[in-house]
Amino acid sequence: MKVLMLNSLDIRYGSTYRARRLYESLLRSGLEVAYMEPNYQGNDKNVIGIKQPDSLFGYFCVVLSGIKECLFRSYDVLVILKTPPLSFPCALIAKLRRKKVVIDMDDLDSALQTKISRKILIAFLENLVPGYADMVTTHSDYIIELLKRKKIKKIVKMAQGVDTALFDPSRYNRQLLRQALGLSGKKVLVYLATLTWGGCRDLDIILKAVRDLMQNKPDLFLLIVGGGPLEGHFLQIIKELKMGNVRITGLLPQEEVPRYLSAADIALIFMRDDLGNRMRASLKLLEYLSMEKIVVGHIVGESKDMLGQYCSLSDPTAESLTAKISDACEGKAILESAREYIKNNHSWQKIGEKMVEAMAGWGK
């Protein structure tokens, strides 16, 4: 079976990690896969790399590239990650060529947009494009309920995944890492995110909660692991809040992320109770718990249903989050390990096998 996968976002966006893992899982299953990703830097011959400047013109180039691949490449199944503007013409072309179409929805993206024009466009596509799909995959029961109302032909729950072999605390010497990072003697809080409007939309609450706590705990240090288009924006906010013990790592290869998590004492998360967050199965939460970190924060929806019992949960306020972090710093957050549960339910190998099974009989 030949599969063409289209991803319209580059590595600065969290959903691209899911896209890459799905691609790798399908390859391991023996399928012939071509995968398109903007600004790809690597030497994988199966990846179609597209140069995309951060502009409307750059995105237009990605749309044209996706259309070209759908028109002229040989494939049996088209897999589109999310429902971006390229999804409609590409899905339509694939159907005209009598190919199968799969849409993977890892978020309700319209609920995460900050600009009204983008919110309206993405909401329109989220309503339109899944109707052309032979199958829609998603990691969220909440998105599944929305899709059922649209009478989608086939919906398959494809869990959010984590690389449990990479995110394995036994691989790392925590004390040596702390020394190498200059964090010895610190109580280290970590927040993992892509610094995009969708990836760090609740970071402001975390910064306020940690700033209030730092006033009484001079050894406290906040490590923000990640980077992206909004890195400069948040560096300015941190400066205005006069928070000295904060470091943003910048964008890291995925292989480096667990080293920083290993060096931390407590992992933070905060999700306002809104439609976008309720639909999410948080990747950072899976990575935290796979590394057996104490997780403190407020979570909602799919993330809470999935992993809430393994976290020290606060109320939806910065003040409550401050109190919960303080308790964790004092050793009052004793939590059950989630690692075995994650290995059994969220490994990419099992997710890939499920996707191949769902597509059985589609190819040659």
- The pLDDT score that the predictor gives to residue 307 is 95
Is 90 exceeded by the pLDDT of residue 194?
A: no
Q: Are 152 and 133 in contact (CB under 8 A)?
A: yes
Share of the chain above pLDDT 90, in %: 65
Q: Are 42 and 105 in contact (CB under 8 A)?
A: no
Q: What is the mean pLDDT of residues 94-120?
A: 90
Q: Which helix (H) or strand (E) holds 344?
A: helix 339-345
Rounded Cα gap, residues 243 and 181, in angstroms: 19
**pTM given for the model:** 0.88
Is 70 exceeded by the pLDDT of residue 364?
A: no
DSSP string across 170-199: GG--HHHHHHHTT-TT-EEEEEE---STTT
Over residues 259-312, the pLDDT tens digits come to: 999 999 999 999 999 999 999 999 999 999 999 999 999 999 999 999 999 999
Q: Are 31 and 1 in contact (CB under 8 A)?
A: yes
pLDDT bucket at 95, cuts 50 / 70 / 90: very high
Rounded Cα gap, residues 146 and 127, in angstroms: 10
Q: What is the mean pLDDT of residues 68-96?
A: 94
Structure tokens at 301: 């929806």
- The pLDDT score that the predictor gives to residue 84 is 85
Rounded Cα gap, residues 301 and 280, in angstroms: 7
Q: Which residue has the higher pLDDT, 54 or 157?
A: 157
Dihedral angle, C-alpha 116, 121, 124, 128, nearest 10 °: -160
Q: How many CB atoms lie within 10 A of CB 42?
A: 10
Residues of each domain in the chain carrying CATH 3.40.50.2000: 2-161+347-358, 169-344
CATH 3.40.50.2000, domain 169-344, yes or no = yes
Pairing between β-strand 135-138 and β-strand 220-225 as defined by DSSP bridges: unpaired
- The pLDDT score that the predictor gives to residue 363 is 66
Which residue is associated with the tokens 């470091």?
247
Question: What is 2-161+347-358's CATH number?
Answer: 3.40.50.2000
pLDDT bucket at 15, cuts 50 / 70 / 90: confident
Rounded Cα gap, residues 90 and 129, in angstroms: 10
